[in-house]
Every structure is written in C-alpha cells, then in structure tokens.
Amino acid sequence: MARTSRITIPPEFEIGYKKSAIAVSNEAISLETGTHYLLARNGRGKTTLLRTLAGSLQAVSGNAEVEGFVQYIPEDIEYDAHLSAEVILKTLVPKGRREACLAFADKVELDVKKNYRDLSTGNKRKISWLMAEFCCDVARGNVLLLDEPFTGLDSYVREAFMEYWEENEEGVCRLVSCHPDFDSMAINSAVIISEGKIVASTSADGQSWGELKEGLK
C-alpha cells in the first residue's frame, strides 16, 4: 500500500526572498494524491513556491508540510552535453523501471541515441520528466514539483504526459507549474497565485483554463 503523498500549506504561509514576501496564503491548502496545477502570471511566485516546498528556499513565514519522497524538477535543469539521452536515463532511473521508461521515451518521440547537446528544448524537457516519473516509488509515497514541464512540447506529447498522470495517480502528488495554451483544458484542482495571495481552486466537473485565467492578476 502506498504511503502518504501530500502537500499541506498552512494559513499565513509567506513565500519570497529573505524578508521580502511575494505571496501569502490566507487559509489552509491540502493537496492530496493526484495532479494539481500551479497557475499564475509571470513573476508572481510559481517557481518561488515550488522551491520553498522543495526546501531549497526558506519561507518568509510559516512552514509547509510535504509528505513523501520529494523531487523538484526546475525548468532550467541541465545534463552533461556529451551523454546520450539513453545513458542519462539508464543512469538515473532505477533498474526495474528502465525498460518502461525507455518505452515511454519512444512513445513521446524522444531519440534516446542523440547526445543531450543535440536535442531540442522540448526533448531536453522530456528527459527530466521521464527521470522524475520513473524514479517514483509508490510504496513510499511521492511528491513531484514540476516547473513548466510543457515548455517546448507539442500537443501530442502534452496529452501523453497528462494521460500518464491520470493513469498513474496512486502514491503520487503532483504540483505542476504551467501556462496552458488552450482555453478548454480542464483543471480539477489548482493552486493560484494572484494579487499576492495563494489560494486553492477545485471543481469536480473541471474548471477550464479559459475561466481561471480571467481571475489572474
């Protein structure tokens, strides 16, 4: 049975740098197993929140609780330019999951024989995503903090990622920072940063990105 995978943000939790706050939560936010989207306009604190939850940045005030094996995947992560995608993945992904990882790499059209330096921005992002997902161990619970994983990806690959998340929710809590590029995208659970406030937004029927973005300031 999978262990707990959860992010809990308390009231008055402030994020920022040193003593300068960018945003604060007014009420408790609890993110359970499943996929949650982190939405905000540029410069409002999405990366700051992810870094704070990952423990690489100190909160200005308050303490969030993150339960599970935490992986923070920044947008600008880099690998050795002279290594192939296959070598990188075989080195980072546990042996028992490498075959499945490489099979999914083929599904999303990642040429694993190419050196990292020769890959497009989108294909470089695929490596980070594959590494994070296939390093998950549902027996101990996992928290994935993904910063702009859709950068440089076409609609086919984005949909493949989202389908994978729907089919592999057990034992994984995902918080995904992104800028959806189609208004009809359904978002059942979101953390929104707007006007200096961190709030949760949920809908069993799935709110659309087109509806949510109208409230971002």
Domain residue ranges in the chain:
6-76+141-215
pLDDT, tens digit, for every residue of 115-161? 999 999 999 999 999 999 999 987 889 999 999 998 889 989 999 99
Note the pLDDT of residue 36. Answer: 95
What homologous superfamily is domain 6-76+141-215 in, according to CATH? P-loop containing nucleotide triphosphate hydrolases (3.40.50.300)
What's the burial of 113, exposed, middle or buried (CB within 10 Å: 0-12/13-18/19+)?
Answer: exposed
Flag whether pLDDT at 204 surpasses 60: no
Note the pLDDT of residue 183. Answer: 63
Q: What b/e readout covers 162-200, taking b as 16+ CB neighbours within 10 angstroms?
A: eeebeeebebbbbbbbbebeeeebebebbbbbbeeebbb
Q: Is the pTM of this model over 0.85?
A: yes
